[in-house]
Chain A
């Protein structure tokens, strides 16, 4: 368990470095002080998650990524009890209702679905309830 006053980490997964930078800039700019871990695809994210899952309070997940896509990553994660309770928020350029439904079908506990390009306040409001 994390020590008192120790903030847990946010795992940001996106194949665009610039999108991850933007996301972190927006969240830090809004006063969020959690540390960030970063991955460029689902494969890299699984490795990071395996080593750090006890410290991660939230996963921000892109959909279209090489190797292991966001949906494949999420489908895998929710099957593993040790990590299945970590909230996931999709942050994707594909934002149709059908995409959102697909994501919720894979993960009924999905924490949110944000469409790029997003408004900073929308991102902050969506993730705040999940921060620890």
Chain B
């Protein structure tokens, strides 16, 4: 697949992710985004073979960061040979109200582990819904990792497909401000047989 075709495919996958998130938030929390989420292509910043994921860059405020990886199959997962990554950033002050809107039990905002866990639960349902949307869109079934959670920065970075240079960043405004950012990087996904 040529570079241009890959760029187009990544853009399509990011659009699919955005539609999936909008539908999930609508169905689960009756949340409509007043402003259309903004999709921006960004260059992946790599260190030690991992992708940098820094929440402070997104909000300039304390942030919780969770991610999952996608793999072609179970064998690739065992080898940590990722095809893609989905990273969720939520501003610290918005974890509690967001999860309440999504009808989860209350989270203690003074408990860092509970806040991380809330961000992870959100990342997990977004990634699961996205994986299903990919299959519905004619792509092969991917393996999905458990979520990993951090405060402010994913200290060890995030596994990603080393052939990829770009990621998409999607910003979501809630209650009048940007509160949620979701990033996607993805290698070429085989089509379903």
Contact = CB atoms under 8 A, between A and B. Distances in A.
Interface of A: 15-19, 21-22, 25, 64-66, 69, 92-99, 115-117
B144 A64 contact: yes
A98 B141 contact: yes
A64 B145 CA distance: 6
Contact of B104 (A22, A94, A115): A22
B24 A18 contact: no
List the 5 closest A-B pairs by CB distance, nearest first.
A93-B128, A16-B121, A18-B121, A98-B141, A64-B146
Nearest to A69: B146
B141 A115 contact: no
Contacts of A92: 128
B171 interface: no
Contacts of A22: 103-105
Contact of B132 (A16, A18, A94, A117): A94
A92 B129 CA distance: 10
A99 B144 CA distance: 11
B117 A16 contact: yes
Contacts, number: 68
B135 interface: yes
Contact of A116 (B99, B114, B124, B147): B124
A25 B146 contact: no
Contacts of A66: 146
Given A18-B99, A18-B104, A117-B24, A95 B132 contact: yes
Given A16-B124, A18-B117, A95-B128, 6 more contacts: A15-B147, A16-B121, A22-B104, A64-B145, A69-B146, A117-B27
Interface of B: 24, 27-28, 68, 99, 102-105, 107, 113-114, 117-118, 120-121, 124-125, 127-129, 131-132, 135, 141, 144-147
15 contacts: A16-B120, A17-B113, A18-B114, A18-B117, A22-B103, A64-B68, A64-B144, A94-B128, A94-B144, A95-B128, A97-B135, A98-B141, A116-B128, A117-B24, A117-B103
B124 to A, nearest CB: 5
Contacts of B107: 18
Contacts of A16: 117, 120-121, 124, 147
A95 B20 CA distance: 14
A65 B135 CA distance: 22
